[in-house]
Amino acid sequence: MTDKLIIFDTTLRDGEQSPGASMTKDEKVRIARQLERLRVDVIEAGFAASSHGDAAAIAAVAAVVKDSIVCSLARANEKDITIAAESLKAANAKRIHTFIATSALHMEKKLRMTPDQVFDQAKAAVRFARKFTNDVEFSPEDGYRSDMDFLCRILEAVIKEGATTLNIPDTVGYAVPELYGHFIKTLRTRIPNSDKAIWSVHCHNDLGMGVANSLAGVVTGGARQVECTINGLGERAGNTSLEEIVMAVRTRKDFFKLDLRIDATQIVPASKLVSQITGFVVQPNKAVVGANAFAHASGIHQDGVLKARDTYEIMRAEDVGWSANRIVLGKLSGRNAFKQRIQELGVVLESETELNEAFARFKALADQKSEIFDEDIVSLMSDSAMSQQKEHYGFISLNQHSETGERPKSRVVFKVGDQDVSSEAEGNGPVDATLNAIEKKVESGAELLLFSVNAITSGTQSQGEVTMRLSKGGRIVNGVGMDPDIIAASAKAYLAALNKLHDPSQAKLNAQMAP
């Protein structure tokens, strides 16, 4: 006998609350499409009342996602709930997730409300949310540090008001698995109408136990929804990792006896997309999605795996979407072959123009790099998706000179509006010289918060993928650039970030600062 575990992805909401991970509307839509391909049950697309930009992003996600429930967070008040409902209007299936803090500490120090006021507000919020949808989730924020008697009282009341999912957050990552599992079990046992709602877990990872706590909530507590994020993205030490929950439940089905709707082969593409958009690099030894998760370096392990794979492997790399760096296309490949391969890779093209632009980029890349891998095509497509946005700055060419004992020099030619400009500068290194050359003309004054370089495939022929995170006037943006020449990739990434700073619709306030 098995029953179903609901996967509620909050990469676009709680994940986005990581400093520096805020996403533009288009980026949210791209991730939402991938989450839908991954077949998550619920996509929490944002916190509509936090900013106009976030409300617009939720509306855009709601308009394109057909197969997953789309959800918005809302504080427990009519204004937030109305904005959430408005942004979810176009959704095929929608959920409003309303929350209020219930721990003594949060009620007294943060909300400055009495428990009775919080009780009344929670009830009223759920009742109000039910006017817009039958699918209403309630979260007592800092629930795990709340008084058990008060929590039972408030949760019983919101179920009566029509809450269909009750989520118990360990907001500060304080729980340990055994205690958290029993906490959920106690709630379910003591609340008389607990069987009228689905119970959900939401565990932050401050002590590195987010996944373990969530699974204890499922096994001991009887929860049937897990809230999680791709790559464990989230503020501070992050959230529960979606990929770890999914693969634990699937690999140990003998123990968990739970069914999932997820298409696990979409896990690695989702991980790469989130990492590329946010600029948060995945650590190599990260379970399931880390570059070394399936690598065997020791001779004994390699020998064992060659003789019988299951000697040292409990999952297959291809089952979670790792591809074998297959050479798929080259300089002589035609448009049809290219089109077919991108379809096989699950990339959705909106128009013939988009295909033509992507094909032109493919040809340009094939001139620079003889072997084109699936990873190159995926990044090429995301690169081309980015270029659909109206660009103020655009990379044209780079001339760079470095010699041991001399200061590196760069000359960059780039587009500013309708004009081509050329600028030259020196720097401590080739990247520094290149950025100095761009800054000399642009004078953005932005602060560089992050500069990271990644190889898209293996080998020295690989394209470099550079992420630059810039901050200016309270706004934080990420720019990504790809090129076989990592200095050119750096210039592209810097210009992409400047484009977002230039166009207010392409950046949003950090979710933490908005409400």
Q: Which one, of 136, 141, 107, 106, lies nearest residue 124 by Cα?
A: 136
Applying CB under 5 A, the span of 7-15, 254-262, 299-307, 470-478 interacting with Zn ion comes to: 7-15
Rounded least distance, CB 14 to Zn ion, Å: 4
Q: Are 364 and 372 in contact (CB under 8 A)?
A: no
* Closest among 508, 483, 506, 478 to 494, alpha carbons compared: 478
User: Taking contact as CB under 5 A, which single stretch among the options 6-14, 111-119, 267-275, 361-369 is the one that binds Zn ion?
Assistant: 6-14
Residue 139 touching ligand KIV (CB under 6 A) = yes
Q: Which is nearer to ligand KIV, 14 or 243 (CB)?
A: 14
Give the span between the Cα atoms of 332 and 271, in whole angstroms.
Answer: 31
Rounded to whole angstroms, the Cα distance separating 482 from 490 reads 8
Q: Which stretch binds ligand KIV (CB under 6 A): 48-56, 166-174, 370-378, 460-468?
A: 166-174
Stretch that binds Zn ion, among 12-20, 253-261, 304-312, 429-437 (CB under 5 A): 12-20
Mark the segment that binds Zn ion (CB under 5 A) among 14-22, 151-159, 251-259, 288-296.
Answer: 14-22
Q: In what order do the strands lie in the sheet with 464-472?
A: 447-455, 464-472, 475-483
Shortest distance in whole angstroms from residue 73 CB to ligand KIV? 6
Site stretch for Zn ion (CB under 5 A), options 8-16, 143-151, 444-452, 460-468: 8-16
**Nearest to 266, CA basis, from 287, 289, 239:** 289
Tokens of 302: 């390699």
Q: Which is nearer to Zn ion, 106 or 492 (CB)?
A: 106
Which positions from 204 to 233 touch ligand KIV by CB under 6 A, shown as an x/- string? Answer: x-----------------------------
In eight-state DSSP terms, residue 48 is G
Minimum separation from the CB atom of position 200 to ligand KIV (A): 9
Site size toward ligand KIV, by CB under 6 A: 9
- Judged by CB under 6 A, the residue of 6, 12, 14, 91 near ligand KIV is 14
DSSP assignments along 259-325, one per residue: E----GGGHHHHHHHHHHHH--PPPTT-TTTSTTTT---SHHHHHHHHH-GGGT-SS-GGGGT----
Distance CA 468, CA 152 (A): 47
Residue 202 C-beta: closest distance to Zn ion, Å: 6
Place of tokens 């290219």: 338
Q: Which residue number, 235 or 432, has a Cβ lying nearer to Zn ion?
A: 235
In this chain, which stretch among 117-125, 165-173, 240-248, 305-313 interacts with ligand KIV, using CB under 6 A? 165-173
Q: Tell me the C-alpha to C-alpha distance, in Å, between residue 500 and each of 23, 273, 378, 480, 503.
A: 11, 18, 22, 11, 5
Q: Does 243 bind ligand KIV (CB under 6 A)?
A: no
**Does residue 54 belong to the site contacting ligand KIV (CB under 6 A)?**
no
Q: Judged by CB under 6 A, does residue 141 bind ligand KIV?
A: yes
- Residue 217 binds which entry of Zn ion, ligand KIV, none, CB below 5-8 Å type-dependent: none
How many CB atoms lie under 10 A from the CB of residue 337? 13
Footprint of Zn ion on 233-252 (CB under 5 A): none
Stretch of 164-172, 338-346, 385-393, 441-449 lying at the interface with ligand KIV (CB under 6 A): 164-172
Q: How far is the CB of 329 from ligand KIV (least distance, A)?
A: 43
Of 9, 14, 36, 391, the one binding Zn ion (CB under 5 A) is 14
Q: What is the nearest approach in angstroms of ligand KIV to the Cβ of residue 168?
A: 9
Minimal distance, residue 75 CB to ligand KIV, in Å: 9
Q: What count of other Cβ atoms lies within 10 Å of the Cβ of residue 431?
A: 23
169 belongs to the binding site for ligand KIV (CB under 6 A):
yes
DSSP string, 447-462: EEEEEEEEESSSSTTS
Q: How far is CA 310 from CA 183, 246, 322, in A?
A: 37, 20, 17
- Looking only at residues 99 through 138 of this chain, which bind ligand KIV when binding is defined by CB under 6 A? 99
The entry of ligand KIV, Zn ion, none near residue 141 (CB within 5 to 8 angstroms by kind) is: ligand KIV
Structure token pair of residue 408: 């590196």
Q: Is 385 helix (H, G, I), strand (E, B) or coil?
A: helix
Residue-wise over 488-512: b if at least 16 C-beta within 10 A, else e?
bbbbbbbbbbbbbbbeeebbbbbbe
Binding site partner of 231, from ligand KIV, Zn ion, none, Cβ cut-off 5-8 A by kind: none
Q: Is 142 in the site for Zn ion (CB under 5 A)?
A: no
Reduce the DSSP state of residue 366 to 3 states and report it.
helix
What CA–CA distance (Å, rounded) separates 68 from 6? 11
Residue 263: CB minimum distance to ligand KIV, A: 26
List of residues contacting Zn ion (CB under 5 A): 14
Chain positions contacting ligand KIV, by CB under 6 A: 14, 99, 139, 141, 167, 169, 171, 202, 204
